[in-house]
Amino acid sequence: MPPKSLIGAIIAIVVVTALALSLSLLLPRKPAEPQEPIKAENMPEIALGERIQLPEPRYESETSVEEALSQRRSIRAYSGDNLTLEEVSQLLWAAQGITAPWGGRTAPSAGALYPLELYVVVGDVEGLDQGVYRYIPQGHELVKVRDGDLRAELADVALGQSSVRDAAIDLVFTAVYERTTVKYKERGVRYVQMEAGHAAQNVYLQAVSLDLGTVTIGAFGDTEVKQIMNLEEQEDPLYIMPVGRKG
User: What does the pLDDT average to over 215-243?
Assistant: 97
Q: Residue 160 pLDDT > 70, yes or no? A: yes
pLDDT of 47 reads 87
Residue 19, pLDDT > 50, answer: no
Instruction: Provide the pLDDT for residue 137.
Output: 98
Contact 216, 147 (CB under 8 A): no
| Mean pLDDT for the chain overall | 89
pLDDT single digits (tens) 63-83: 999 999 999 999 999 999 999
Say yes or no to pLDDT of 150 above 80: yes
Q: How many CA atoms within 13 Å lie on the side-chain side of 70?
A: 5
pLDDT at 46: 81
Residue 202: CA count within 13 A, CB half-sphere: 20
Contacts of 56 (CB under 8 A, 6+ apart): 89, 140
Q: Does residue 231 carry a pLDDT above 90?
A: yes
pLDDT per position as a tens digit, 27-74: 343 434 445 665 555 555 788 889 999 999 999 999 999 999 999 999
Q: pLDDT tens across 168-190, in order?
A: 999 999 999 999 999 999 999 99
Domains of the chain, CATH where assigned: 37-245 (3.40.109.10)
Q: Which residue has the higher pLDDT, 16 or 123?
A: 123
Please state the three-class secondary structure of the chain as a single string.
CCCHHHHHHHHHHHHHHHHHHHHHHHCCCCCCCCCCCEEHHHCCCCCCCCEEECCCCCCCCCCCHHHHHHHCCCCCCECCCCECHHHHHHHHHHHHCECCCCCCECCCCHHHCCCEEEEEEECCECCECCEEEEEECCCCEEEEEEECCCHHHHHHCCCCCHHHHHCCEEEEEEECCHHHHHHHCCHHHHHHHHHHHHHHHHHHHHHHHCCEEECCECCCCHHHHHHHHCCCCCCEEEEEEEEEEEC
